[in-house]
Chains A and B, each alone.
Chain A
């Protein structure tokens, strides 16, 4: 009775992700192959063009910066100079920074940021799901959470510096409060947005509350949560760097302040560059995690820009 059921599993397996007509021998296959080849050629050409344009953009941007400072149209003392930044980076790598080896500064800041990121997002996810599920707690706590979210939380850094002194937790705590709210609101919203039909279906099928949370609510909210993790690692770095402002002996933030206090603009840019590289690496890791956790989602449309 069913067309699909007549297909043996082996021929089903070779189809693409979308169910199409069963593969045909000969002519059709060759046509398909030619079409696929042409499509991948077009995609490759497009990718190359994007890389070329990105390179061109970087050349124009850095080139004009370098040129205008070389010609002294703008004073490199105030805006720095790309070649100066490269030189500063090179001396940091070869001779170390004023605070010690560069890798150590990077490691210190990353430790603070990762710690803050992990603790902040764990708290955000757990409390977001809890408040999303239990209406009473959500209603009681909502003015407090909204109030806490409204204050500029980076100032808490000074408080944490007093509470935790120079330890890693002084900075990590600043990162925690920045990360927490973003993840919390997304997890909360994600739980609230779960399709009512899916919940009804699971209940009819016999799911108890625990199963409902574990198998329906959390997977459904996962898209929201993972989206917030992208933003929040950047915030964790902000938290760590700001935390270092309130008291630290090492770290990229500290390195940048030192450079700033000694009017070393190139040093400031060099520190920012290292932070940006680390943030990009972390972003890549989070994207990999995301693809792993929600492999059930339709794959990205090729036209979509992965920002």
Chain B
């Protein structure tokens, strides 16, 4: 902050030296701290974990360089299936939550209606609740539908746990994040553009699809990306409602008791690279990072 005037005093000089030298160094160190586990993940994806060579089953210690895991990334029982289930759940829950959340976002930003405060609280609550509480309460409710007295009443049984219960949970926790993201985009929206379209003879339906939707589309895409990444990585809530169904995080958590194959690091590295490329390409296209 060189433009700011300061009185030259010993403490002032000390503060400025602190800002100029210590803070940037500290920041670089902190960011290094954030990146170290990613580097470890990447490096250990090239580790040789070969039981026949006495490496054991755990990828915790460095043995030797090997491309084995990268050449056979799905070569472990259950890994491919769990990855496929994760992708499918993430895609479906993203589509559903994005539609439901966008509708709520539209209603909240462009209509005056009674109960807005209550709706806003209901949107906020899932984001302020520990995942653990959401997971266990949802799991308990699913169990309850399969037990008396609920079992004997005309409540549809949501038991046993499986893809459908995971989907219900993922859509639930994603809705709030979609609403918040879409609302942020709609807040800066110039309503006069819609009025202009209607003045030019467009009806509301046409106006929405030709003017409103294209303008809020980047916000909807950002919300969908967020929902997708939250869903594909979710472990805590999923662990309470998955039963015997594996998703990639659930499979990883299960296997690490008995083994830690380097394939886990390979999949993690691939997901990381794809996400970085997705963000980089969207940054290059729009000239600024998506928020």
A associates with B = no
B interface vs A, CB < 8 Å?
none
